[in-house]
C-alpha cells in the first residue's frame, strides 16, 4: 500500500534475459534484515515462495530481446511474495544531479527498502523535469541518499566516503561488491556524513546500484563536481561490478 512504509519490504536485483537473478543470497539477506527493522514477519516458507516466484519469472521472460533486466522482489506485511520484471534503461555517465530535501523517516524506517517508495520516484521525476538525471537527498548540508542509488565519493586525500545508516544510507548490495576492489586499489572506505565541504573538494563522486550500475556525477545543482573524466574511483568500481556480474553469470552456466 503506497504511503505506508510498513506495508512491505523489497529489493531490486539484476536479472538476465533468462530470468536468472544475480547475487540472490545477498539480496535476500538484506530484505530479511530490513523486514526485521520494519516489523514485517518472514513466512516460514519464505524461501519456497521465492523459488516459486523466480520460477514463474523465468517462465515469462523473453529470451531474445531483454539484454539487461531488473527484478523487484517484494514481501508484504501479509506474507505475500512477488517478483516484478522490468527492462533496465540505459544510463549516461557522467550524470547531472539536483539536490532535494531529505525525507524525514523515523529511525526504524531510515535506510530500509520500505513500502512507501513514491517520494523517491517523485524526486527522480523532479530531476528529469529540470534537465537533470538523478536526485540527491540532502539534510543539514549533507547528502544522505539518491533516488535510486548509493552515493560514494573520493575525497582529495584518497579516501572514499559512503553515508552510513544513521545518516540515511541504505545497505547497498552493489556497493558491497565494489568496496573490496576499492580497498585493494588502495582506497580506504569511511562511512559517515557526506557533508557539503567533503563534496566540494571531492575528486570523484559516483552513484551505484543494481539498476544504475556505476555512474559518475559531474554536476550538482549547476556546480561542477570532481575531476574532468573518470578516475580511479569510477574505473575501479566499473571494473569490479563488471567482473562480479560476469563471474556470476558464468557460474550460472556451469
pLDDT category at 254 given cuts 50, 70, 90 is: very low
- Note whether 141 and 203 are same-domain residues: yes
- Note whether 126 and 214 are same-domain residues: yes
Domain CATH for 182 = 3.20.10.10
Q: How many domains does the chain have?
A: 2
Phi, psi of 230 (to 5 degrees): -70, 135
Q: Determine the average pLDDT of the residues in 6-28.
A: 92
- Note whether 226 and 140 are same-domain residues: yes
Domain CATH for 20 = 3.30.470.10
Residue 187 has pLDDT above 80, yes or no: yes
- Note whether 9 and 57 are same-domain residues: yes
Q: Determine the average pLDDT of the residues in 139-159.
A: 93
Which of 89, 122, 156 terminates a domain? The answer is 89
126 part of a folded domain: yes
- Note whether 28 and 137 are same-domain residues: no
- Whole-model pTM: value is 0.90
- Note whether 71 and 117 are same-domain residues: no
Domain containing 192 equals 95-242
250 part of a folded domain: no
Average pLDDT, the chain: 89
- Note whether 104 and 205 are same-domain residues: yes
Contact yes or no for 97/220 (Cβ under 8 A): yes
Alpha-carbon distance 166 to 171, whole Å?
11
- Note whether 103 and 178 are same-domain residues: yes
pLDDT of residue 252: 60
- Note whether 35 and 146 are same-domain residues: no
- Note whether 75 and 107 are same-domain residues: no
Residue pLDDT, tens place only, 72-102: 999 999 999 999 988 787 788 999 999 999 8
Q: How would you label 129-152 residue by residue, b for 16+ Cβ within 10 Å and e otherwise? A: eeebbbbbbbeeebbbbbbbbbbb
Give the count of beta carbons closer than 10 Å to the beta carbon of residue 200.
12
- With 0-12 CB in 10 A as exposed, 13-18 as middle and 19+ as buried, what is 23? buried
Amino acid at each position: 500500500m503506497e504511503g505506508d512504509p510498513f506495508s512491505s519490504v523489497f529489493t531490486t536485483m539484476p536479472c538476465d534475459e533468462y530470468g536468472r537473478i544475480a547475487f540472490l543470497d545477498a539480496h535476500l539477506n538484506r530484505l530479511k534484515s530490513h523486514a526485521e527493522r520494519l516489523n514485517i514477519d518472514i513466512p516460514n516458507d519464505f524461501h519456497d515462495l521465492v523459488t516459486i516466484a523466480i520460477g514463474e519469472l523465468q517462465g515469462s521472460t523473453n529470451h531474445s530481446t531483454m539484454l539487461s533486466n531488473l527484478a523487484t522482489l517484494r514481501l508484504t506485511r501479509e506474507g505475500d511474495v512477488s517478483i516484478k520484471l522490468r527492462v533496465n534503461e540505459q544510463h549516461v555517465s557522467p550524470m547531472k544531479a539536483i539536490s532535494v530535501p531529505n525525507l524525514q523517516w523515523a529511525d526504524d524506517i531510515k535506510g530500509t527498502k520500505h513500502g512507501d517508495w513514491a517520494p523517491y520516484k517523485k524526486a527522480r521525476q523532479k530531476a528529469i523535469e529540470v534537465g537533470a538525471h538523478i536526485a540527491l537527498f540532502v539534510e543539514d548540508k549533507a547528502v544522505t541518499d539518491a533516488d535510486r542509488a548509493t552515493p560514494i565519493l573520493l575525497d582529495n586525500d584518497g579516501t572514499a566516503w559512503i553515508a552510513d545508516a544513521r545518516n540515511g544510507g541504505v545497505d547497498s548490495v552493489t556497493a558491497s561488491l565494489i568496496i573490496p576492489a576499492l580497498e585493494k586499489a588502495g582506497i580506504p572506505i569511511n562511512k559517515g556524513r557526506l557533508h557539503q565541504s567533503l563534496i566540494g573538494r571531492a575528486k570523484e563522486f559516483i552513484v551505484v546500484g543494481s539498476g544504475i550500475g556505476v555512474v559518475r556525477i559531474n554536476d550538482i545543482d549547476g556546480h561542477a563536481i570532481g575531476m574532468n573524466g573518470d578516475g580511479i574511483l569510477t574505473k575501479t568500481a566499473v571494473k569490479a561490478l563488471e567482473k562480479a556480474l560476469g563471474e556470476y553469470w558464468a557460474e550460472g552456466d556451469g
